[in-house]
Structure 1
Amino acid sequence: MKPLITLLLLLSLQTVTAQFSWNAELNLQGMASTEEEHLPFWMNHNQRGRTEKETNFASWVSGKAYYDLGNTGRLEAGAGFLGRDASSDDFFTDELYLTYQKNWLEFTVGRKQRPEAYNGLSASNESILWSLNARPLPGLQLQTTRPVFLFKNFGFEAAWEEYLMDDDFLEKVKLHHKSFHFVYSTSNRNFTFKAGLQHFAQWGGSNDLGGEQPESLEDYIRIITGMQGGETAGAWDQQNALGNHLGGYELSAYKQFSTFELELFYQHLFEDGSGRRLGNTPDGRYGLFVTSTQKDHLVNSLMYEFYTTHHQSHTTSGPHKNDNYFNGNYGGWAYFGNVVGAPFFSLNENETRVINNKFTAHHLGISGNFSSTLGDHRYRLLLSYAQNDGTRPVRFEPKQDVFYALYDVKLLQKEVELNLQFAAEYDNYKAPVYGAGLHLVYRIE
């Protein structure tokens, strides 16, 4: 009898082990620049809020655990904590979440880092409205993990999310986000076309600019439908939509060829009725991404993006002319001092308002592999040029011309990964800034 019980226990343990897996990661990052307390642009932007321009050292540890529930789904739990030398918040939670996934549907509670797209070559990851420039927001996320095809070639992708924006400037402000995209794909899935929209709305809570804001269930219904504010709302919100709204229309086309893959995309942005009716055209993000199906070339992937935000509905007919992107009754579109959208939008010294939302930018990203006596090395090169004109009410005189560069190469990629970085920032307003850094990663799987 005892041998049978022992055998059953061993089989049960083996089953649980097969269902459970985990991994952990330790990151150490050191950086220095030629200007005190000012890292070059790409060393402190699109860093998930982990570094500031004054940061010289950052370290974070993270871990993830996975449990396979069989036919009932899959659980994932993650936690990460970060320490750094900075002017504020030198220790904070990088992520802390629990995710349940069943087939094509996923639900997450907590603060979870968003996935990196385009091999890290984009200036704004997947959206001009929501990049990797700021920390992840805590909240609830319900989304599809892939296109859901209701018919052979036609399907959709969707997300419904509720977050809390609570930082040094915003107090208990809520953020509603939803997205919906129609998807067309050929039967062999080598061509896909998507068309859809994103909608964000800040509401409730309080801030130094707008004071206390209404946040009842009725107000939430007004928020998700874009309705005017009720009797408890301010005069402006009673005449317009309650809260601070922004969003955009999105188009993308993907094609797989025999030796490479190509994606073309366009993202429009709006903050009011004029933008929703395309009165601010041609403002938005345009781009292409090309990647090789074989990953051993000197150039494996290439991305080009063009950004323009000059029009801002200044010639449109009807109401809601003269947009002022990423500025509203909740201050700038920012979280803990970092713009949530594309990092070419810049904040004032108090990190409460966007002082540059009228610009043209060209961005080029290249990645690939090369060999040396130490082995194979993956690299990433980012080159960006922007001409900044301030805001429509307050222009930059003269216009600000900036150029940003980053070269990131992996020196070691075995048990321990080691990356070397060089960066530069050129600005017609000030002297050039150069920087260098090392990033060490140790993984346990």
Structure 2
Amino acid sequence: MNKYPSLHEFIKWVLLLVVVFMSQQSFGQIKKPDLSISSQNLVSVKGYQPIWLTANRNGKFDSFSRYNSAWSFSLESVLDNNKTFDYSYGAEVLVRGADQSELYIHQGYVRLKGGVFRLDAGRIEQTFGEHLKGLSSGSLLISNNTTPIPMVNISMPEYETIPFTNGLLKLRGNLLHGWLEDSRYVTDVYLHQKSLYLQAGFDHWPLQAYGGMVHAVQWGGNSPQYGKLPSSISDYTRIFFARGGGSSSPRGESINALGNHLGIWDFGLKGEVEKWNFKLYWQHYFEDSSGMEFQNIGDGLFGIGVLTQKKQFITGVLVEYIRTINQSGAGLHDKPGDVSFCTEENCGYKYGGRDNYYNNSIYRSGWSYNGNILGNPLMLTTHQISVYLPDSEIYQPFVENNRIAAHHMGIEGYVSSQLNYRLLATYTLHHGNYSGANFGQEWGSKDPANNRKDYTFYPALEQWNFLLEMNYDPLTLQNVSFKTGLALDTGQVTNNLGLIIGVTWNIKDLK
């Protein structure tokens, strides 16, 4: 993986430094940051790591190395939300020893606040969606499963009252432009992302309802097959409104929407009862108009969780159900040729199916960043399948197993005032993908010549993934915390055991 900056990467960092300089001039003396030094070490029985030792940890570890030793050095100042205008900044350098050792800038950003709006520029750890982030399996769209993407993000991060509603209705949203890494099948790819949420309910009510959409697009870039892909200002308006491309676009993008579109409808209820905060949520995933119109109605991330600020044995419980099996049905997306062994058109299914989550025929590196899935990590890449199940045939360019049904639980709490824990347990049925189920053919599953049992994921493979993690903050060592944890994978996909040991030293108000 190339960590040296390209020309456009260099330009981005120059612009970032300019913003930092402007913020210093505008707000006077630069803020004193807090310093954090951390060491985290992983070891596993197999030559790769159990899922929950590396997933949703912001890409800091090498999933395909038996040993990991990650040292991070970070500076961070705090944004004062009580001020009308304020700024903050942060930087984190990470040194990782593994089969693929690296030294790189993991985070480097500045935040500017003006009224209800905020501007973020640089690399910053973040996720999108209203799920309970500490215990969740991860957002279906953008989780914290990868290293941070360089971006510029304008947002209204908190719900703000819509005029003339007296606080009954509130809005929040964002607009982001990012740059994906160059070590992809299509290089120089842009990321477009935006969101808009509406919340209904007064603050003093015990219950509020919310709903919104998060929309993302991979667009532009240089393709080995199609050459330079459309990336002009007019093309930006096309991807913003999900319209088809012009005559210079690849055929699929001129007929359908320009770029690789993904998103979630995000609905839920939240409130507080007896100092317990609760949330009930549903992320409905889509990749095209059929998904936006809920043709894949059964697919999504469903969760219910409760949290409290009290330091007690159980401070949070979350249960999730993740389903991506339907994908708008088993029917082909467009009209096929004649199929002799089907008496009905499209074998009796609707067109517009087989959405093939996280894969794309033009952007063949898929919905990823630096080789990791940007969305929920329970779906498995071709690399993972080739390691876990080396005899399995590969049918997809990036995500080989994108049809799953999973039950996930997370629990956290305190054993004592200095010792807290986090427990994750996940049971998943892995169904592979539609192409594999059809042996790479249009209707191979209907062909009497094929035996469905020859497909690795028929019947679906069962898998359990566990994590128990503990953090200890000794009274005798102020600002020092210790971490240890065990992760276990057991089932028909992979069997593995891993250990994490870490220590973090926080220095407040660095002089």
Using the size of structure 1 for normalisation, the TM-score is: 0.89
Map 1:76-225 → 2, pairs under 5 A: 76-88=88-100, 90-114=102-126, 118=132, 120-124=134-138, 127-150=139-162, 151-152=165-166, 153-169=168-184, 170-188=186-204, 190-208=206-224, 211-225=227-241
Measure the CA separation in 1 of the matches of 2:351 and 2:492: 37
Matched, 1:242 2:275: no
Q: Give the match's secondary structure for 1:220.
A: helix
Q: Does 1:261 align with 2:277?
A: yes
- Decide which moves more: 400-409 or 389-398: 389-398
DSSP 3-state at the match of 1:46: coil
Alignment partner, residue 415 of structure 1: 479
Q: Cα distance 1:336–1:89, how it changes in 2: closer, same or farther (>3 A)?
A: farther
Q: Who is 1:393 aligned against? A: 435
Contact 2:217 2:259 in 1 (8 A): yes
Q: Contact between 2:93 and 2:105, CA under 8 Å: does it hold in 1? A: yes
Question: In 2 relative to 1, CA 429–195 (structure 1 residues): closer, same or farther, beyond 3 Å?
Answer: closer
| Cα displacement (A) at 1:190 | 3.7
Show the 5 A alignment for 1:345-360. 345-349=379-383, 353-360=398-405
- 1:241 match: secondary structure: coil
Are the aligned partners of 1:379 and 1:409 in contact in 2 as well (CA < 8 Å)?
A: yes
Aligned with residue 286 of structure 1, among 302, 305, 316: 302
Equivalence map 1:424-443=2 (5 Å): 424-430=488-494, 432-443=495-506
Q: Choose the corresponding residue for 1:326, options 329, 333, 358.
A: 358
Partner Cα separation in structure 2 for residue 297 and residue 66 of structure 1: 28
Contact preservation (8 Å) 1:79, 1:97? yes
Contact 1:61 1:81 in 2 (8 A): yes
State whether structure 2 residue 50 is matched by structure 1 residue 40: yes
1:444 aligns with 2:507: yes
Give, as a single letter, the amino acid of the residue that structure 1 aligns with 2:424.
L
Q: How far did residue 191 of structure 1 move? A: 2.3
Aligned to 1:215, the other structure's residue is in SS state: coil
Q: Cα deviations across residues 110-139 of structure 1 (Å, max 9, x unaligned)?
A: 111117973611110xx2111110111101
The residue identity in structure 1 corresponding to 2:39 is L
What is the identity, as a one-letter code, of the residue corresponding to 2:284?
A: H
Q: How many residues align?
A: 422
Q: What are the Cα deviations for residues 325-376 of structure 1, in whole angstroms up to 9, with x where unaligned? A: 11112122111010000001211129951101100011100000113xxx63
SS in 2 for 1:327: coil
State the partner residue of 1:307.
Answer: 322
Moved over 4 A (4+): 66-72, 207-211, 315-319
Distance 1:67 1:306, change over 3 A: closer
Structure that is richer in strand per residue:
1
Report the identity percentage: 26
Following TM superposition, by how much is the alpha carbon of 1:166 offset from its aligned partner in structure 2, in angstroms? 1.7
Residues 128-175 of structure 1 deviation map (CA, whole Å, 9 limit, x = unaligned)? 111110111101101112101012211111110010012421421001
Deviation at 1:397, TM superposition (A): 3.5
CA contact (8 A) 1:363 1:385 kept: yes
Query: What's the Cα RMSD here?
Result: 2.3
Name the amino acid aligned to 1:48. N
Q: 1:383 and 2:401 equivalent? A: no
The answer for unaligned runs of 5 or more in structure 1 is: 1-14
Alpha-carbon contact 1:274-1:319 (below 8 Å) kept? no
Alpha-carbon distance in structure 2 between the residues aligned to 1:280 and 1:70: 43
CA distance in 2, matches of 1:256, 1:230: 50
